[in-house]
Structure 1
Amino acid sequence: MRVALDTNVLAYAEGLGDQSRCARAMELVERLPLGEVIIPAQTLGELSRVLRSKAKRSAEDTRSAVLSWADTFSVADSTWPAFQAALDLNVDHKLQIWDALILAVAAEQHCRILLTEDMHAGFTWRGVTLVNPFAPEIDPLLEQLLA
């Protein structure tokens, strides 16, 4: 089962946020099946912004962190069809455009799950279900993925 990661999962894994979420993100990243994980390029762009602005990391440290994620997991570029789909998600489902682009790229990459806490958990679009990995109860799809 393929899975895509949203920015918040990576940011928590980088230590930005409360201790509970950071620990959960690290545990999750370590347990995910390497060959099945996709990181939309948009996610890495957002992570770069968060590391620079919120964590006040240097440009060099930020570059190192982003490249390390890209070395660990497959990166999926944004395409024009994905952006067109994101526009529809923005209008039809009221998703923020950049969140919508991440979801559209996940769908293009045949992901079954997008791990995020920012969007509507349980929403499914083009076969991709939004799953909040920080919810009090583990989602059955996430449980299946980690089994």
Structure 2
Amino acid sequence: MRIALDTNVLAYAEGVGDERRCRLAIDWIERLPTDGVVLPAQTLGELARVLIGKAKRSTDQTRLAVLDWADSYEVADSTWRAFQSALDLVVDHGLSMWDALVLAVTAENRCRVLLSEDLQHGFTWRGVTVVNPFLEPTPPLLQALVR
């Protein structure tokens, strides 16, 4: 099963945020099947913004971090088709444009799960289910992914 990671999961794995979420993000990422993880390119751009703006990392450190993520997992580019789908999500479901684009790219790349705390846990669209990996108890779908 293909799984996409949202920016917040990547940022926590980079140590930006509270200790519990940072630890959980690293733990989940280490337990996921590497060949099934997809990173929408949008999430890497957002990660760069977070690392520079919030974490105050240098641009050199940020570039290395983003490139390390891109070297480790498949990166899925945004397409015009994904933008069109994202616009529908904005209108039909009230999502922000950038969250909608991440979800649309996730669906376009045949992922079944998007790990994110920014979108509504359990929301399903075009076969993609949003799972918040930071909920307690651990969502059953996430438990099944790492077995």
Normalised by the size of structure 1, how large is the TM-score? 0.99
2 CA distance for matches of 1:28 and 1:121?
A: 16
Task: Tell me what 2:82 maps to.
Answer: 82
2 CA distance for matches of 1:24 and 1:143?
A: 13
Matched, 1:51 2:51: yes
Q: C-alpha offsets along residues 10-39 of structure 1, whole Å, 9 cap, x if unaligned? A: 000000000000000011111110000000
Partner of 2:121, secondary structure, is coil
More divergent stretch after superposition (77-86 vs 135-144): 135-144
2 CA distance for matches of 1:91 and 1:51?
A: 30
2 CA distance for matches of 1:81 and 1:45?
A: 19
Gaps of 5+ in 1: none
Task: Tell me what 1:143 maps to.
Answer: 143
Q: C-alpha offsets along residues 78-99 of structure 1, whole Å, 9 cap, x if unaligned? A: 0000000000000100011000
Partner of 1:84, secondary structure, is helix
* Amino acid of the structure 2 residue aligned with 1:141: L
Task: Tell me what 2:23 maps to.
Answer: 23
Q: C-alpha offsets along residues 45-85 of structure 1, whole Å, 9 cap, x if unaligned? A: 00000000000100100000000000111000000000000
Q: Percent sequence identity over matched residues? A: 65
Partner of 1:55, secondary structure, is coil
Task: Tell me what 1:73 maps to.
Answer: 73
Q: C-alpha offsets along residues 93-145 of structure 1, whole Å, 9 cap, x if unaligned? A: 00110000000000001101000000100000000000000001111211111
Gaps of 5+ in 2: none
Q: Could you list the structure 1 runs, at least 4 aligned residues long, displaced by more than 6 angstroms after superposition.
A: none
Task: Tell me what 1:114 maps to.
Answer: 114
Task: Tell me what 1:103 maps to.
Answer: 103
Task: Tell me what 2:32 maps to.
Answer: 32
2 CA distance for matches of 1:111 and 1:141?
A: 14
